[in-house]
Each structure stands twice: as C-alpha cells, then as structure tokens.
Structure 1
Amino acid sequence: MSKYDELGLKVGFEFHQQLDTEHKLFCNCPTKLSEKDTPDYTLTRYLHPTKSELGEVDQAALEEARLSKQYRYHGYQENTCLIECDEEPPQPMNIEALETCMEVSLLLNARIVDQVHTMRKIVIDGSNTTGFQRTSMIATQGKIETDEGEIGIDGISLEEESCRKIEGDIGDIEIVYSLDRLGIPLIEIGSEPDIKTPSQGRKFAEKIGEILRSTQKVKRGIGTIRQDINISIEEGSRIELKGAQELELIETYIEKEVERQTKLIEIKKQLQERGVKEKQLNGEIKDVTHLFTDTDSGIIKSALQNGVVLAQKLKGFKGLVGKEIQEDRRLGTELSDRAKKAGGVGGIFHTDELPKYGITPEEVEKLKKELNAEPDDCIVIIADKPNKAKEAHKAVTERARQATKGVPEETRKPLPNGGSEYMRPLPGSARMYPETDIPPVNIKTKKIKEIKQNLPELISEKIERLKKEYNINREMARNIIKNQKTSLFEETAQKNIPDTIIVRTLTGTLQELESEGYNTNKITKKHFKQTFQLLENQEISKEVIPDILKTITKNPELTAEQAVQKTGKTTIDTEQARKTIQEIANQKEEFIQERGMGALGPLMGIVMQKLDKRIDGETASEILKEEIQQKL
C-alpha cells in the first residue's frame, strides 16, 4: 500500500479548453483576441450576488461582494458587441461549438443528453459583465483508461469563456478586464475523484489533452487550456486548485497539497493537545498604536501616517503560526492571504517571527503584556487604515478558527513552485439558476450517429500509423502532428522525394522562419505542394526551400515557381557546378594538401555559398570529395 492509499488521496480534474470556432458561443463576434493597445470603448460595472433557484446565496459570491470592487472593461469594435457588454440578450447557442463538444464527449465514451439546457453560474469576481457565466451540460457518464486504472468522467459542459484580466490584484479597488475573450466557446470536462496518485493525475491530464488536440478544433497556446484540480485526503478537506496551466507541474501540485493538508492536520492535533477550542478564538481586537509611536520599523512608520496598529491574541497558537506547511509557506502565510483578501492590507506580523522587520524585542514584550498573552499564545498585528485593519483581523480570526478543525474547503491559486495560495471559499450548488434568455437545444440521435461515424484518429494512434506507413521516426511523426500538418504531409509524401525533407520543411524550417519574424500563415497548402513539385522535378535544390518560403511570406500572391524566379535560385546543371567546385579546389590546393579529406567540411561552406545553394548539398559534396581526392 502506497502512502497515498494510506492517506486516502482523492483527486479529480476540471479541464477548460477554448474551442477554435469561427464565432463566439452566444453572438457572431469572432474568437480572435485584440492586438490593440487602446480600446475602442470602456464601461464600468459594480457586481452584486443574487440568490440561486433554491433561494440561497453562494458563499464565494458573498466574499467577493464584500470587497466592493469596481470593474472596468475594455471593448473593441472588431470582436465585441452589446452582448458582451450585457446590453443585449444572447443569441442562440453556436451549433459548431455544440457539435465539437459532442465529438469530444463521444471520444470520452460519454452519454450525450437528449436536450441541452443553459444555466447561469454566479460569478462576481468581475470576469463576466453579467455577474454570471452561462453553462450547458452536454454529456455525462464517460470514462478513460489509464495504466493505473479507469477514471470516470462526471460531466462535459459547454460554457462561455470569461474576460481577460489586464490590470488589478488583491487589495486594488479597481480591476480592469478586456471583453475580447468573453464568450469564446469553452468545453469543460469534469472527472470523478478516481485519481489515487500524483502520477495518475498527470497521465490523465495528458490523455485528455491528446483527445482535445486530436479533434483539431481547439485553440492552442498559453491560456487556451486550464485545469482545476480538486484534491483531498481522508482527514482533510476538498480544495480546488484553480487555473493550473503547467502540465509538468501537475504531480508537484498534488504532492504539495497533500503535504499542506497533512501539516494542517498536525496543527489541528497540536491545538487539541493544548486544549484550544474554536470558541476561545473570540476575535477581540485591541488598538496598540501607542506601543509603536517611536518604532524603528519602516513598515509600521509608513502605516501610521494615516493608520493604526491593531492586534489580537490567538490562544495556544505559539510556534504554530510560524510552522511551515509548504515550501516557503507557513500557517502565518495562510492567515496573511486571508487578511490581504478581506482588508486589502499588505500583510500581517506575528510573534512567531518577531523580533524582525525593525520591531524590537522590547516592543514584542510590551505587546505580549498589553494583550495578557500566555506562554503558548501568538499575537497577530496589522498596521493599516482602521477599517482595512479591522476587516483583515476578522479574516485572520476566521482562518484561525478553521485551524482548530483542520483543513478548510477553499479555492486556491497555483504558484510557480507547485504550491498554492488562498483565493476564495469553495463555491457550492447555490450559485446555479436557469438561463431564461436561451431556448433549449434538442439533440437528435441521427446527429450523434453522424458524428460518431466521423470521429478523428487519436494522436497516439496517428503517430504509430505515420511511423509504419512512411518509415519515419516517432519524433518526426510527433512534430508533423504538433504542427497540424498531417494531411499536407500525407498528400505530398507520395512524391519522389525523401519524406524526411518534407517533415523538415513542414516543421523545423517553418519554426526557424517564425523565429526570424516571418509570417508563415501566408504560406498556403498550394504553395507547399508547388515547392515540393519543383524539388521532385529537380528544378530547385532542397537548400533553396527556406529562401522560396521567405519570398512567399513577403509576396503571398506569387506561385512557388515565381518565387524561385524572384530569388534567382533555379537549379544549375552538374557540369556547371563541377566547374565552379574545381575552381575552388584549385584556389585551395595548399589547404587541401595540409588537411587532406579534413578539408571537405570547411570547403563545403565556401562551395554552397559560391553556388548560392542552387545545387543539392549531397551532389556538391560528392563532386568536392572527388576533386579533393584527385589532389592528394
């Protein structure tokens, strides 16, 4: 039995992948992000929570509402409209997005619903102008096999993407969003909590990613796919790690959350041993500003210009607030996260870490005396404006009370080192209610059968087939698929030229051109076919291909043949090449005598430059080799 079995680890995923459709989910705006530095218009919103269909208010929404933030939105004429601004009702659901979602559902062995209903999910963090996100259940009861066991798929939904954040963070009064991303179709895939180890979690994520990419109907690039990871252990609680994007960090995220929950359980047990009860943490706050009137602490001095220093005693918490629960994070960091979120303060001080930050031992002793602290107590102080400091202290009290129970349920933000920090309470079912502006969509059995008959080949299967049929290695096959050039490769691979040249052109050469700043999107499938035909007809050498493609990116109206003429690099015959190579060999005879056949490499560079790459490199090498041998 592994340590994860002993701990009762359970992990589930929610994947959010943008679909590469022509239009957004509920309007006809394109799904391209704006590249403008300045918006065409802006608008401002203040968002408030509403009750669900059961008459309840979601706790996560309530916490966001208490922050009283202002949200400003940037709009652009080319990809936003009145629907994103919440000034016009949504249009009917995008059928292209729905059918892509159905295709993925079938690849996940899921059961597609008979009728699609759209719901509103309350979200008032400003990421949507309406205060809710539209979401529709498409399929349920799917499954995926991994080498560590079967993982169930609880549900597959079609949602609208949120706004793109431009400016703002915890503590800021105003947050700025861009409307260009709002409404892009998003597929959500939620698994059952069947994952039992970190490695199984990574393998599952890789498999889901493969299935999504296999459709060739999803967007690619940073930010187009995100994972929410739900993690719990038997004595802990479920937390949601929100928006994890780094696939290679998935195992680390899970491992570090297990570590965090284990340490929090240890803290709970230590508090129990000390006899600390939740009700003893009464949240009594005391103004201790007078103790720091002559302080050397720069942080407190700055805060006291228009603020106060407030303190509270955490009974029995000595040594525990400073206890490390993750790399570079302590229980005190958790308290600080809550304080920052609730009060917008810069952070907290606590006596487990003092004296420090300019706060002297004498000030610490005065502080303990002022609050009648006992040896096992810890004191938390916050220096800021009175209202902000009070709200922050309330959050500290609440988090300290939760420590007596163990691990609180919450949504957390992933950090670059694999750790996490607090975002908000874990949302519940109270945030859902029906969408009344969008009619239901009936799913016909005929359409399901049609999609099922045309399911795409999975990437792993395609790699094996390309290897077998075209005698290329795994890496070449993977690169062809990664660059979405499979169909073009298969159409041109029948030509009388080595497949490796085609692979190299469609992958490596294009990447090199892009890194040099060339817009390779201007090179069409027709251009590639024409170029390979010229190569097959021996009208160009393979070395000239990059120059042809560069010319086409600048003049996309040209054919490949016209691009060759423009570069002036049509193939020369072997005798012309031999004459040029002989001249070079004669000029470098002394060098050849000195280096022998070792002169071949250095002279090849001179030869290809002189011939302007108008002859195949292998042919030039053979001729040069003959000329060198004749002189030895």
Structure 2
Amino acid sequence: MTDFDYDELGLLVGFEIHQELDTHKLFCNCPSELQEEEAQLAIDRELRPTQSELGEVDQAALAEAAKRKWFRYKIHPDNVCLVEMDEEPPHSVNKEAQEIGLEIALLLNAAPVDEAHVMRKTVIDGSNTAGFQRTILMATDGKLDINGIKVDIHTICLEEDAARKAGEEGDRVDYQLDRLGIPLIEIATGPNFTNPKIAEEAALTMGRILRATGKVKRGIGTIRQDVNVSIEDGARQEIKGIQELSLITTVIKLEVERQVKLLEIKNELEKRGAKGIEEGIIDVTKIFSDTKSKILQEILSKDGLISAVKLPKFAGLIGKELTPNRRFGTELADYARVYSNVKGIFHTDELPGDGISSEEVRELKNAAKASEEDAVIIIGGKEREVKKALKAIVERANAALEGVPEETRRALVNGTTQFMRPLPGAARMYVETDIPPLVVSQAKLKKIKEKLPELPEERKKKYVKEFDLSEELARRMSVSENAELFEKLVEKHDADPTLVAATLEETLPYLEKEGLDAEKIGEEELDEIISLISQEEISKSALMPLLEKAAQGVPPKESIKQLGLEKMERGELEELITQIVDEKKELIEERGDRAIAPLMGIVMERVRGKADGELVHKLLEEKLRKYKT
C-alpha cells in the first residue's frame, strides 16, 4: 500500500453511518429479528425504474434495470407481514424509533425539523420489494468536535433497512425479508476529513455516541459505514458496506491509490493519442473452435459464442495493477459482470495463457485489426449477455479517457473495492403518499432533552474520577450497554466499582467465549452475587464459580451450598495458614519472601473460594514476618 501526501492530492473524506435501532420494524409491528431457519414461503418479483416527479429517471436505477434480474423473496411469517411484501400500505411510523432518532439528533447538536416527511428513494437492485426505500429526514446541521476537527453533520435520517441478499443464480437474485423494515438511523457528515486515520477515529467516536443511547442494536451487520472519497483530480466514490471500523483507513488509502493509478492511465492514453472507442464488436468464435482453453471449451459446448472488441491504444494498461490483486482489467470485468451474466473476460495483456495459444492470439488481433498499441477483450457466453458485457466494457474504457468516473462501490474484506453501479442522482427521491407528515413539537423535544444520556467522553471522565476505574476500563464501560447497570449495582450495594465493571465487561464475555450461556446471567443474578460479596457473606474469589453456575441456570444461593462457598471465618483461615506455613518450612527457608507466591496458590486451593485473595495475602505476609523473627 502506497503512502501519499494526502494534502497535496486534495483528499476529502466524508461518511455515512447506518445504525439499526433496537425496536420493532419501522412501518409495522413485526419484530426486528433475523431468522437462521430456512424460510417457509417465497414470492417472485420483477422491478422497473420509474420517473421522478420531475419526469426524470435515476441513472443508477437505469443501470440496475439493464441487468434484467428478477427476485425471489424468502419469507418467515414470524417477522414478515404484508407490509414488507408490498401487499399492504405501510402502517404509522414507529414512535419509539422516531424518539430515538430525535435523541441521536440532539446528541449530535443537530436541528430537528418541525415537520418530518416520509420520502421514497428509488432502489431496484431487489433489496426492497416496492422498488424504493422509505426514508425520513429528522434533523440537519449537526456539529461535533472530534479530536480538534469540526465535523459537519449534514443530515440525520430515519429509514428502513433493506432485505438481506441470500444468493444469486443466473438472472435470479434471492433475498431474505426478515431484515427489510428494521429501523436504522443514517448520519451523513460533510467532507471534513483529509486523513484516512482521522476519518476512522471519527467514525469510532460517532459509533460510541450511538451506543451511549442504549437503544441501538449491537453485533456484526447492525452498523455499517459508507465512505465518500475523492481527490482533487479524481472523482467522488461512494464506498458501501464497511462493517469493520478498523477497515476504514485501509479502504480510504486503497481508494486513493486506485484513483491515482487511474489518472496515470488517463495521462498515458493522452500521450498515446487515444480517442473515443466505438463498440465494434466482432464474432471470433471460429478462431477458438479448437482451443485448448477449458473455459472457452465449456462455453462453446453450451452453444455459446465468443466475441471481441478492440480498445485502441490500451495495450499494457489493461494489466496495470490499481490496488493489490486488482488490475484495470478487473475493473472492466466488474462492469461486464454487473451489466450481464458473463463470468469474466480475457484480454491480450494476459495472453497467451489459460489454454489460449499464441497462434489464437495472433489470429484474434488480425481479426480485430489491432496494432501493438491496442488491446483486445474477448468474452464468451450467450449472444445477448456477451453484447451487454462488451458494451459495458467499451463505456468503461471510454470513461478511462476522462479519468475517474463517479461510482458506487462495494467494500471487500481486504479493503479493496468493487464496482456496483453509477452514483445515484437527485431523481431517485420522491414523496411517500401513503404516510402523512410527522409533526415534531417543541414539547416532545423538551421531554427528550431532559433524558439525554451522557456522552461517552463525559461518562469516561466520571468513571475515572468518581469510581476510580482505570482509563481503559472506564473507556470500555463508558460505551457499554451495561453502563446503567454498572452504576446501579455500585450505588445500590456500595460495591467495588472495578469488580463490578470487570465482571460486566471482562468476565461475562469470557464465559461466553468458553461456551457458557452468559445470557442466563441476568440483572437479578448479578445483583444477588454483588450484594453477597459487598456484605462479605462470600469472598470475591467465589465470583467466577457462582457466575459459571448461574450460566447453567443455578441460583447463586443454591450454588453456594453446592460448592461449599460459605465464607471462612478469619480465625479458621488463620489456623489453616499457620498449618500450611508449618508444612512448608523448607520452602520458606529456601525462597524467603519469594515463597509467598507458591504459598498463596496452596492456600487458595485449600479454601476454594471461601476466602478473599487480598486477605489471604495479608495474613501470609504477617505470618512470614513472624516466622523470620
């Protein structure tokens, strides 16, 4: 990965955060839960682009329509109703979701609108059965100071999540409808970031603010980041679906690298005198009738054809690497796959190879009338699909003459990106006619303001100062969904804050990793265990075995009896320590003060959770001092 001078390149980065809310669906009462079981029902649909109120059709919608896909929607009746199937008008907007949206807007210092209108956003990739996504502008003009950078928050919208893609086969795309309609908040920032790492830190801060509400979903897939990236001579790219915050820096750096390389291609084409390319598709099936290429053999065996197009002056540029393991030819192949059902392309920068001989390449170039400066693309398949693919490739090659086209791209797991569709325009938005506007009263805003949660940074400072937590534990606790429970347990039982915080943020996740069902350890069980420890009825060392038992559904007091964890009286403990010290005289004489560690292990093994480690350590120190004298 190349490091660039981002200021010199004029890097600008903004992002959109999409966070699912922890409430029922936005336009019906179905639960917002995903299903793992196989769907019981399915419906099939086709979607077509429509004109906006101004008579325009969005280019992204046209691009999707050109693929001629049809869609199968899989249905779980427990959390999908006629609303998601677009067989019934949407119900009233989820009031709880509205209030969460306004709460988030106020936390981000944004100005809520007086009247919120539901809009339709054209989406015909199949992820919405109606061919549009409903979205509601809740607030504008937010401001945040993140590490000294003034961040503009342009819009805060409440919208419905899309269906989950479940597979693809030929012209058919499968979706699960369980996610469709789950309310999410969309936060769009301005292009305030000129450094990839700072953009990532800002996204992390925004995520912490959202979690501070305690009203958002947690887990993989419940929060997604879209990043808008541009450089001065390049173009804005909307990169969608970054699910790991740690990937944001990599995605931005690689996108900058990709645009720089595309500009190098443009400059090289200008030097070569390249001009606009006409389609000029030719049939080259005969050339490959006896080919050794297994891929082409399979295509021909299924009555497919092989066609080619010449890209004048592109020789050597198709194979140019833009980002790790992705070349300009990969970009062309992405376009071909998006706009048709072909599986891939061959080009002369990588031939001969893959079973295609030098003689076949020579004949191919002759048929295409290609010079040494020209590249030739070949694609095999059904005639209609091949033509669509080659047409898309010619369009993308022509765009290379201009530099960097504006695109919507998909983030891949390694931080590189893949073409999805052209950037959408304003024509995709129009008014929802089935739902009346939502009035946002000052009384409602006042009520929400009175209950706003502390921001994570404020909470962290409080935990360090008032609860004496370490910086790291305070940071984790400040953004935890357990923050409220933490404060409640500490204050109710005058409990050790570090013990409570570590239990919630470290011990419970550890038990989950070990295969125990930590979900069974509810507030009631935690309250009882912390109370017993605080009242010194059991020792702190009894915490882990009690939690392990609670994860198995055994109540704490019953576990204490089963495990014999009643706290040992001090006198009894002192007698045990005296006995062990007498037994281990040789160890003490040999190691001196260093004997305390193995002695601690022996004592704790004997008491088995009936005594606190701190007290054991203190009594051992006293005993060893007396032993020396």
Shorter-chain TM-score: what band? over 0.9
| Count, aligned residues | 623
SS of the aligned residue for 2:286 comes to helix
1:564-622: CA deviations, max 9, x gaps? 23433111213333444455555555555555554443443343233222111233344
Map of 1:391 onto structure 2 = 388
User: Could you tell me how far apart the structure 1 residues matched to 2:571 and 2:151 are?
Assistant: 66
1:24 and 2:20 matched: no
1:506-562: CA deviations, max 9, x gaps? 222111221123332333333323222211222111111122223333337x4x434
SS of the aligned residue for 2:74 comes to strand
Structure 1 residues 5-20: aligned runs within 5 Å: 5-20=7-22
SS of the aligned residue for 2:502 comes to helix
SS of the aligned residue for 1:546 comes to helix
Q: 1:441 to 1:612 in 2, by over 3 A?
A: same
RMSD: 2.3
Structure 1 residues 314-393: aligned runs within 5 Å: 314-393=311-390
Q: How far 1:273 moved relative to its partner?
A: 2.1
Q: Amino acid of the residue matched to residue 314 of structure 1?
A: L
User: Could you tell me how far apart the structure 1 residues matched to 2:532 and 2:445 are?
Assistant: 44
Is the Cα contact below 8 Å between 1:115 and 1:442 reproduced in 2? yes
Is the Cα contact below 8 Å between 1:119 and 1:434 reproduced in 2? yes
User: Could you tell me how far apart the structure 2 residues matched to 1:537 and 1:455 are?
Assistant: 34
1:466-490: CA deviations, max 9, x gaps? 1011222111212323432223322
More deviation in 205-214 or 2-11? 2-11
User: Could you tell me how far apart the structure 1 residues matched to 2:587 and 2:148 are?
Assistant: 63
1:56-112: CA deviations, max 9, x gaps? 222212222222223222222322222112121111001111111111111222221
1:236 and 2:234 matched: yes
Q: 2:518 aligns with which of 517, 520, 527?
A: 520
User: Could you tell me how far apart the structure 2 residues matched to 1:496 and 1:103 are?
Assistant: 31
Q: 1:384 to 1:504 in 2, by over 3 A?
A: same
Q: Amino acid of the residue matched to residue 301 of structure 1?
A: Q
Is the Cα contact below 8 Å between 2:19 and 2:216 reproduced in 1? yes
Identical counterparts, % of pairs: 47
Q: 2:613 aligns with which of 607, 611, 617?
A: 617
Q: Amino acid of the residue matched to residue 291 of structure 2?
A: T
Is the Cα contact below 8 Å between 1:74 and 1:179 reproduced in 2? yes
Map of 2:278 onto structure 1 = 282
User: Could you tell me how far apart the structure 2 residues matched to 1:100 and 1:285 are?
Assistant: 55
Q: How far 1:18 moved relative to its partner?
A: 0.6
User: Could you tell me how far apart the structure 1 residues matched to 2:478 and 2:457 are?
Assistant: 10
Q: How far 1:41 moved relative to its partner?
A: 2.3
Q: How far 1:333 moved relative to its partner?
A: 0.9
Map of 1:293 onto structure 2 = 289
Is the Cα contact below 8 Å between 1:102 and 1:138 reproduced in 2? yes
Q: 1:355 to 1:96 in 2, by over 3 A?
A: same
Is the Cα contact below 8 Å between 1:513 and 1:550 reproduced in 2? yes
1:119 and 2:115 matched: no
1:146 and 2:142 matched: no
1:416-464: CA deviations, max 9, x gaps? 2222111111111111121111111111112122222332211011101
Is the Cα contact below 8 Å between 1:309 and 1:381 reproduced in 2? yes
Q: 1:498 aligns with which of 493, 496, 500?
A: 496
1:293-338: CA deviations, max 9, x gaps? 2322222222221222211110111111112222222211110111
More deviation in 45-54 or 457-466? 45-54
Map of 2:67 onto structure 1 = 67
More deviation in 106-115 or 584-593? 584-593
Q: Amino acid of the residue matched to residue 401 of structure 1?
A: N
Is the Cα contact below 8 Å between 2:208 and 2:479 reproduced in 1? no
Q: How far 1:162 moved relative to its partner?
A: 0.8
1:343-362: CA deviations, max 9, x gaps? 22221111111122222222
More deviation in 621-630 or 188-197? 621-630
1:37-66: CA deviations, max 9, x gaps? 222322222222222222222221222222
User: Could you tell me how far apart the structure 1 residues matched to 2:19 and 2:75 are?
Assistant: 23
Q: Amino acid of the residue matched to residue 323 of structure 1?
A: K
Q: How far 1:274 moved relative to its partner?
A: 1.9
Map of 1:99 onto structure 2 = 99
SS of the aligned residue for 1:143 comes to strand
Map of 1:608 onto structure 2 = 604
Q: Amino acid of the residue matched to residue 261 of structure 2?
A: K
More deviation in 410-419 or 498-507? 498-507
Q: 1:536 to 1:149 in 2, by over 3 A?
A: closer
Is the Cα contact below 8 Å between 1:148 and 1:200 reproduced in 2? no
Map of 2:480 onto structure 1 = 483
User: Could you tell me how far apart the structure 1 residues matched to 2:175 and 2:583 are?
Assistant: 67
User: Could you tell me how far apart the structure 2 residues matched to 1:364 and 1:331 are?
Assistant: 20
User: Could you tell me how far apart the structure 2 residues matched to 1:354 and 1:76 are?
Assistant: 49
User: Could you tell me how far apart the structure 2 residues matched to 1:249 and 1:313 are?
Assistant: 38
User: Could you tell me how far apart the structure 1 residues matched to 2:141 and 2:572 are?
Assistant: 70
More deviation in 176-185 or 460-469? 176-185
Q: Amino acid of the residue matched to residue 25 of structure 2?
A: K
Map of 1:303 onto structure 2 = 299
SS of the aligned residue for 1:609 comes to helix
1:115-161: CA deviations, max 9, x gaps? 11111111111111111111111111222223453222221111001
Is the Cα contact below 8 Å between 1:9 and 1:232 reproduced in 2? yes
SS of the aligned residue for 1:159 comes to strand
Q: Amino acid of the residue matched to residue 460 of structure 2?
A: I
Is the Cα contact below 8 Å between 1:268 and 1:403 reproduced in 2? yes
SS of the aligned residue for 1:304 comes to helix
User: Could you tell me how far apart the structure 2 residues matched to 1:514 and 1:492 are?
Assistant: 21
Map of 2:444 onto structure 1 = 447
More deviation in 384-393 or 619-628? 619-628
Q: 1:188 to 1:342 in 2, by over 3 A?
A: same
More deviation in 602-611 or 352-361? 602-611
User: Could you tell me how far apart the structure 1 residues matched to 2:326 and 2:378 are?
Assistant: 19
User: Could you tell me how far apart the structure 2 residues matched to 1:447 and 1:188 are?
Assistant: 21
Structure 1 residues 502-581: aligned runs within 5 Å: 502-555=500-553, 558=555, 560-581=556-577
Is the Cα contact below 8 Å between 2:380 and 2:386 reproduced in 1? yes
Which sections of structure 2, spanning at least 5 residues, go unmatched?
A: none
Q: Amino acid of the residue matched to residue 239 of structure 1?
A: Q
More deviation in 262-271 or 461-470? 262-271
Q: 1:149 to 1:600 in 2, by over 3 A?
A: closer
User: Could you tell me how far apart the structure 1 residues matched to 2:131 and 2:123 are?
Assistant: 5
User: Could you tell me how far apart the structure 1 residues matched to 2:146 and 2:503 are?
Assistant: 35
Q: Amino acid of the residue matched to residue 211 of structure 1?
A: I
Map of 1:90 onto structure 2 = 90
TM superposition score normalised by structure 2: 0.93
TM superposition score normalised by structure 1: 0.93
1:260-280: CA deviations, max 9, x gaps? 1222122122222222221xx
Which sections of structure 1, spanning at least 5 residues, go unmatched?
A: none
Map of 2:34 onto structure 1 = 33
Q: Amino acid of the residue matched to residue 4 of structure 1?
A: Y
Q: Amino acid of the residue matched to residue 373 of structure 2?
A: D
Map of 2:249 onto structure 1 = 251
Is the Cα contact below 8 Å between 2:212 and 2:480 reproduced in 1? no
Is the Cα contact below 8 Å between 2:48 and 2:65 reproduced in 1? yes
More deviation in 130-139 or 292-301? 292-301
Map of 2:174 onto structure 1 = 176
